[in-house]
Amino acid sequence: MTVTIPSPVDALHERLREPLRHFIGGEWVSAQSGDTFDFHAPSDNRLLGRAASGDARDIDRAAQAAHAAFPAWRALSGKKRRALLYRVADLIEARAHDIAVAESTDTGQPIRFMKSAAVRAAENFRFFADRAEGAQDGLSLPTNGFLNYTVRQPIGPVGVITPWNTPFMLSSWKIAPALAAGCTVVHKPAEWSPVTATILAEIMHEAGIPAGVVNLVHGFGETAGKALTEHPLIRAIAFIGESRTGSLIQKQGADTLKRVHLELGGKNPVVVFDDADLSRALDAAIFMIYSLNGQRCTSSSRLLVQRGVHDQFVEQLAERVANIRVGDPLDPATEVGPLIHPRQFEKVCSYFDAARADGATIRVGGERIGDTGNYVRPTLFTDARNDMRIAQEEIFGPVLTVIPFDTDEDALRLANDVPYGLAAYLWTNDLTRAHTFAHGLDSGMIWVNSENVRHLPTPFGGMKASGIGRDGGDYSFDFYMETKNVAINLNGHRAQQLGMPGNKEN
Ligand code: NAD
């Protein structure tokens, strides 16, 4: 007898025959309204599956579950939380290939990058697991006659709202530190890519995370997302998404005084000086905008090149961009896959017209590919100015805008002259220039002579319209925890005496 083991792709389609459900209080449940929404495969826009469409009632149920689970979860020792989070990481690794297939199918991100995204998610869980025991640690701040010390304690149930670009990795980036800190979670993933959030909930359940500690509610931003930001039992919202939505989240959370952490958009410069290692700079500039379909917040979407090396650099760049392999996201050879959704596809394509209208040159690409799926040709705009829409707005696709500059002052002015301030990349071998320029940049993260290489203890986050707050290492715990100061008097000093006998005569 031959036993046929279904391929991960077949297995995914098989499981998506049933609508994805919410995970609340340790149970898989449909939306209370009974409604579902459809989601589609970016490669051909055919129906991929359906998910429960959450509204305020589902969010309330999940928030109540997170609230009920909080006292026991926060009381669990850091050691036990660490062990559970390690188990989550192990299970993620064991299912890394299935996760990668699901993520590629659901988002259009090439499988070559999604394999490492699952592994990075496991790393996030292990990294914060290792810090669970020390999360409550504070400072000792003694002064004359007083011992002051601080302790941290988890803020309570938190809402996590995630976007559709690399959703599995980004969910782990928020959920792992929240759980390590002792918070309980209600997660609302993006409606365009709900599949791997479901797998993550399954894994956490299987790992033994107690019922109610992590809850998942699918649905739209305007309904489920909004209700989460407004729920009185939810103490904080960790959000990753567009700057416009970040601003809405602040407004929605105002009545319940939500603490918010916003990781938002970017229009990140890569600045190439004429003394740089141009060959490495070329590889990095290409990688940072054309990997992950250009749908990454830290993508280097503006290339500022010093005039002396501009033509030579752009020549080589154009040749490489024209060679980028676009195709089926599940094909390991694919470098750029389809964009997530027809709306995002139309948005990216609209910039081809904007570039022409504003007088830039479309040196490579600038066109759709085929009639099915959301495929665009990797695109290079040259002869651009920094005031053009292609240089100011976050396009979030495999699209790069090149602008020449003459002096360091010009480069710094151009680099900072956008609403965003998330990441920047500098290419120079001049040590003084690198430091001076880095200090002048309005960017939360700067890489010198490198693409984005993450080190988890370092702060991750942006300035200006790119966000509020930082993630990573202890910065994450500052968000998910309250810091309390305890002041103990040691010298028996006495307060000023009010209301003493004899006062009234005055
Ligand atoms: P989005 O803002 O449209 O949606 C993000 C999430 O917010 C989704 O789950 C959505 O349902 C929800 N949402 C929408 N409206 C809401 C509302 N009124 N209240 C509550 N929730 C609401 O973003 P997107 O298009 O899914 O993602 C792309 C964006 O994310 C880009 O701008 C990108 O730069 C940004 N991003 C930033 C980082 C970072 O670390 N800074 C990382 C990844 C992505």
| Residue 496 CA to ligand 1 centre (angstroms) | 54
Q: Is 161 in the pocket of ligand 1 (CB under 6 A)?
A: yes
The Å distance, Cα 506 to ligand 1 centre, comes to 65
Q: Which two tokens stand for residue 363?
A: 């040196």
Of 140, 240, 194, the closest CA to residue 31 belongs to 194
Note the pLDDT of residue 4: 66
CA 423 to CA 411: how far, in whole Å? 15
Query: Edge to edge, what strands does the sheet with 467-468 contain?
Result: 27-29, 22-24, 214-216, 185-188, 158-161, 236-240, 259-263, 467-468
392 burial (CB, 10 Å; 0-12 / 13-18 / 19+) is middle
265 lines ligand 1 (CB under 6 A): yes
Q: What is the pLDDT of residues 121-174, one digit of tens each?
A: 999 999 999 999 999 999 999 999 999 999 999 999 999 999 999 999 999 999
Question: What angle do helix axes 96-107 and 78-94 make, rounded to 10 degrees?
Answer: 70
* Residue whose CA lies nearest to ligand 1 atom number 28: 241
- Yes or no: say if 22 and 217 are a contact pair by the CB < 8 Å rule: yes
Ligand 1 pocket, residue 226 CB under 6 Å: yes
Q: Which of 55, 165, 192, when mutated, tests ligand 1's pocket best, judged by the most ligand atoms within 8 Å of its CB?
A: 165
Calculate how far, in angstroms, residue 245's C-alpha sits from the geometric centre of ligand 1.
6
Going by alpha carbons, the residue nearest to atom 39 of ligand 1 is: 263
What does the pLDDT read at residue 504? 74
Q: Which amino acid is at 85?
A: L
Closest ligand 1 atom to residue 220 Cα is 11
> Does residue 263 line the site of ligand 1, with CB under 6 A?
yes
Q: How far apart are the first and last CA of the chain?
A: 105
CA of 393 to the centre of ligand 1 (A): 16
Assess contact for 451 and 425: CB atoms under 8 A. yes
397 lines ligand 1 (CB under 6 A): no
Asked if residue 159 lies in contact with residue 238, where contact means CB atoms within 8 angstroms, the answer is yes
Centre of ligand 1 to C-alpha 160, Å, is 11
Measured distance CA(365)–CA(294) in Å, rounded: 14
- Report CA-CA distances (Å) from 88 to 17, 156, 500: 26, 21, 63
DSSP-assigned beta bridge partners for residue 28 = 23
Geometric angle at alpha carbon 73, from 69 and 77, rounded to 5°: 165
pLDDT in 10s for each residue of the chain, 506 residues: 566 666 888 889 999 999 999 999 999 999 999 999 999 999 999 999 999 999 999 999 999 999 999 999 999 999 999 999 999 999 999 999 999 999 999 999 999 999 899 999 999 999 999 999 999 999 999 999 999 999 999 999 999 999 999 999 999 999 999 999 999 999 999 999 999 999 999 999 999 999 999 999 999 999 999 999 999 999 999 999 999 999 999 999 999 999 999 999 999 999 999 999 999 999 999 999 999 999 999 999 999 999 999 999 999 999 999 999 999 999 999 999 999 999 999 999 999 999 999 999 999 999 999 989 999 999 999 999 999 999 999 999 999 999 999 999 999 999 999 999 999 999 999 999 999 999 999 999 999 999 999 999 999 999 999 999 999 999 999 999 999 999 999 999 999 999 999 887 65
Residues in the chain: 506
Closest atom of ligand 1 to CA, residue 467 = 41
For residue 463, the CA-to-ligand 1 centroid distance in Å is 17
Assigned CATH topology for domain 269-448: Aldehyde Dehydrogenase; Chain A, domain 2 (3.40.309)
DSSP output for 158-204: EEEE--SSSHHHHHHHHHHHHHHHT--EEEE--TT--HHHHHHHHHH
Domain boundaries, the chain: 24-34+57-264+466-486, 269-448
* Residue 228 CA, closest ligand 1 atom number: 20
> One-letter amino acid identity for 364?
V
- 76-91 b/e (C-beta count within 10 Å ≥ 16 → b): bebeebbebbbbbbeb
Cα angle 304, 308, 312; round to 5: 80
Strand residue runs (E) in 307-462: 361-364, 379-382, 399-405, 420-421, 423-427, 445-448
How is 140-169 classified by DSSP, letter by letter? B--BTTEEEEEEEEE--SEEEE--SSSHHH
Q: Ligand 1 within 6 A of 422 CB?
A: yes
CATH of 24-34+57-264+466-486, one of 3.40.605.10, 3.40.50.720, 1.20.140.10, 3.30.2130.10: 3.40.605.10
| Ligand 1 atom closest to 244 (CA) | 2
Residue 265, helix vs strand vs coil: coil
Residue of 242, 248, 264 best suited for mutating to test ligand 1, as the one with most atoms within 8 Å of CB: 242
- What whole-number distance in Å separates Cα of residue 496 and Cα of residue 486? 21
| Distance between Cα 252 and ligand 1 center (Å) | 15
Say yes or no: CB of residue 163 within 6 Å of ligand 1.
yes
Q: Is 61 helix (H, G, I), strand (E, B) or coil?
A: helix
pLDDT of residue 282: 98
pTM value is 0.97
Report whether residue 337 contacts ligand 1, using a CB cutoff of 6 Å. no
CA atoms within 13 A on the CB side of 202: 13
Q: Is 263 a catalytic residue?
A: yes
Could you tell me the distance, in angstroms and rounded to a whole number, from the CA of residue 371 to the centre of ligand 1? 28
**Residue environment code for 179-190, b if the CB has 16+ CB neighbours within 10 A, otherwise e:** bbbbbbbbbbbb
Residue whose CA lies nearest to ligand 1 atom number 14: 221
Alpha carbon separation from 223 to 19, 218, 219 (Å, rounded) = 19, 10, 7
**DSSP string over 70-105:** HHHHHHS-HHHHHHHHHHHHHHHHHTHHHHHHHHHH
Candidate list 263, 335, 394, 451, residue with the active-site label? 263
Bridge partners for 487 per DSSP: 148
How far is it, in rounded angstroms, from Cα 236 to Cα 228? 10
Contact 492, 163 (CB under 8 A): no
Give the position, in ligand 1's atom list, of the atom nearest the Cα of 471. 40
